Amino acid sequence: MGEADQIRIEALVEDARVHRDVYASEAVFKLEMERIWGRAWLYVGHVSQVPAPGDFITTTLGLTPVVMVRHTDGDTVHVLQNRCGHRGAIVCYQRSGHAKSGLFRCPYHGWIFRSDGSLRTTPSPRGYEDVGFDRDDPAFGMPRLPRVGIYRGFVFASLSETGPDLETFLGETRATIDNMVDRAPDGEVEVTGRVGHRFRHRNNWKFFIENLHDAMHPMVAHAATGDAVRQYVEAHPDTDDGRPEAEVIAPFGGSYDFFDEMGFVGLPLGHGYMGGSKSIFSHYEMYPDYLASMHAVYGEERTREILSYNKHNTLVYPSCTVRDGIQSIRVVKPVSVNETVIESWTFRLKGAPQDMLDRTLRYSRLINSPASCVGPDDLSCYDRIQEAAETRAIQWIDLHRHLGRDEQHGDTLTAIGTSDLALRNQYRAWLDYMVVD
C-alpha cells in the first residue's frame, strides 16, 4: 500500500470480505483518524467526572489530546485541545485534577489559560507589546473543540464543525443510554473511580468493536470459562440460577441457538446492538432493596418495563460500547495501526443500594479487566489476526455468514445473532466515512 492519497479505499471492502490492509496499513489508519475519528461524535466522559468549577480530566479523541473541564461559570463543560497556543506543548499531564481558579498553566513558558480555553496572561508581557500580538485571538488559546454535546450526562465531542447534531448521530442508541440512566432510582448515574480498567491491545482498534457482536466466538474462544461455570452449576444443584458469578459468566458458554435468538440490529452510521428481549442480567429478585426503591419511584409496571429492556451490548460507532443493564461503558482509544487502549468505566446508579454497584464492579472484574476470565481469550485471537494481516499470511478477512439474509426495516438491518451482518454493518459505515468525493 502506498501513501494515503494513493489508496483506493473502495477496493478494500467488498460485500463479504475486507482486505487485510484495513487492519495493517499505516496509511489507512492515518485516513481513519482523519475521516472517521475526525468527523464522528466521540465519547469524552461523564459530567460526574468534573463536578466542580475547575475540575478536569484529560483523554484523547482519536489521536487528539483533549481536556474536559467544568468552566468557572459552574454550568458549562468545555472540551479543549490539550495544546498550548504558544508552541503547541501539552498543557495538562495529569489524567484528572482540579485547576485552581479554573486556570491552566503551560509547563514550558508559563502561558496561562482560562477554563474556556482563552489566553489570560503571558509571563513578562512587555515582550508582546506593540509587536502585533493579539492576546484575544483564539489561535493563542487552547482551542475549543468545534462541537460538544451532552446527552443525559454523557459528554461527546466532534473534531469537525459540520455533521449531524449529537441526538441525530446517536439515533436509536439513545434508548440504551436512557435505559442505563432510568435504572437509577434518583434518575442519574455517576462514574465510579478514576478509571475502571485500562487494557492495552497490540492490535488494530476495529478488532475490539467487531468482536463485540461476533456471536460465533464465545462458545469456542471462551469454552474453558463456560465449561467451568457449567460444571460449578451442576455440582451445586441446590442453589438457584441467580448466583452472581454464574449470572455474569454463564452466557459466555451459551449455545449457538442462545445467540441466534438474541439477534442483531444494525443501525445507520455503524451503530448496532444485540439482545433486547433475551439477554443476561434479568435476575432482580436477589436485590429486593433495589426493587423496592425502583417501585417507590416508578411503580411496579414501569420498573418491570425498565428492567426487562436488556440489550447485550450497544456500539456507538466508533468510540464506545454501552451496557445499560450493567452500567458500564468501554471506550476505544486508537494509538497506532496496531495498538489500541480499551478503557472500561463503571457507573453507580444514584439512589440504588450498594449491592447494585457491587454487581457492576463484579462484571467489570470478571469480563472486562485485563486479568478477567474472558478478555484475554479475545485478545489472543485479535493478536493472531493482526499478525496474519501484517505478515500478509492472508489477503482477505471473510464476512460471508448469512450474507443476503438480512431483513431491512427502513434504514435498519436485522439478522439472527450469529450473522456476520454485525461486521458488514460496521464496514457499510466505514466506507461511507472513508470514501470522500
Binding residues for ligand FES (CB under 6 A): 84, 86-87, 89, 106, 108-111
Question: Least CB distance from residue 111 to ligand FES, whole Å?
Answer: 4
Kindly tell me which of 119 and 421 has the beta carbon lying closer to ligand FES: 119
Q: Smallest gap, in angstroms, from Cβ of residue 55 to ligand FES?
A: 22
Q: Which C-beta is closer to ligand FES: that of 142 or that of 157?
A: 142
Question: Any residues with CB less than 8 A from the CB of 299 and at least 6 apart, and which?
Answer: none
Say if strands 407-409 and 412-415 run parallel, antiparallel, or are unpaired: antiparallel
Phi/psi of residue 345, nearest 5 degrees: -110, 140
Give 116 or 190: the residue with its C-beta nearer to ligand FES: 116
Minimal distance in Å, beta carbon 144 to ligand FES?
17
Angstrom CA distances, 155 to 85, 152, 326, 412, 431, stand at: 24, 8, 19, 25, 26
Name the residue nearer to ligand FES (CB basis): 107 or 193: 107
By C-beta, is 89 or 403 nearer to ligand FES?
Answer: 89
Residue 14 grid coordinates: 467488498
Q: Which sign does the torsion angle of CA 178, 323, 22, 3 carry? A: positive
Q: Which is nearer to ligand FES, 105 or 183 (CB)?
A: 105
Q: Which is nearer to ligand FES, 141 or 196 (by Cβ)?
A: 141
Q: Which lies closer to ligand FES via its Cβ, residue 86 or residue 295? A: 86
* Long-range contacts of residues 387-391, Cβ cutoff 8 Å, at least 24 apart: 388/20, 389/20, 389/21, 389/23, 389/24, 389/204, 390/24, 390/338
The whole-angstrom separation of Cα 38 and Cα 58 is: 18
* Alpha-carbon distances, residue 243 vs 236, 258, 310, 325 (angstroms): 11, 20, 18, 16
Cβ count within 10 A of residue 200:
12
- Count Cβ neighbours within 10 Å for each residue of 356-370 and write b for 16 or more, e otherwise: bbebbbbbbbbbbbe
Least distance from C-beta 209 to ligand FES, angstroms?
36
**CA–centroid distance for 150 within its chain:** 15
| Residue 377 CB partners (closer than 8 Å, separation 6+) | 221, 222, 224, 225
**Vertex 412 angle, CA 408 and 413, to 5°:** 55
Burial 286-311 (b: 16+ CB within 10 A, else e): ebeebbebbeeebeeeebeebbebbb
In this structure, which amino acid lies at residue 101? S
Give the whole-angstrom CA distance, residue 334 versus residue 203: 9
- Report the residue number, 107 or 299, with the smaller CB distance to ligand FES: 107
- Smaller CB distance to ligand FES: residue 50 or 106? 106
Report the nearest approach of ligand FES to the CB of residue 110 (Å).
6
401: left (phi over 0), alpha (psi -120 to 50) or beta: beta
Question: Smallest distance from the beta carbon of 140 to ligand FES, in angstroms?
Answer: 10
Secondary element (H or E) of residue 195: strand 189-201
Whether omega before 164 lies within 30 degrees of 0, making that bond cis, reads no
Provide, rounded to whole angstroms, the least separation between the CB of residue 34 and ligand FES.
25
Give whichever of 8 and 126 is closer to ligand FES, judged by the CB atom. 126
Minimum Å gap between C-beta 108 and ligand FES is 4
Q: Report in angstroms how near the CB of residue 89 gets to ligand FES at its nearest.
A: 4
Residues β-bridged to residue 10: none
Closest distance of CB 121 from ligand FES, Å: 11
State the nearest-atom distance from the C-beta of 41 to ligand FES, in Å.
29
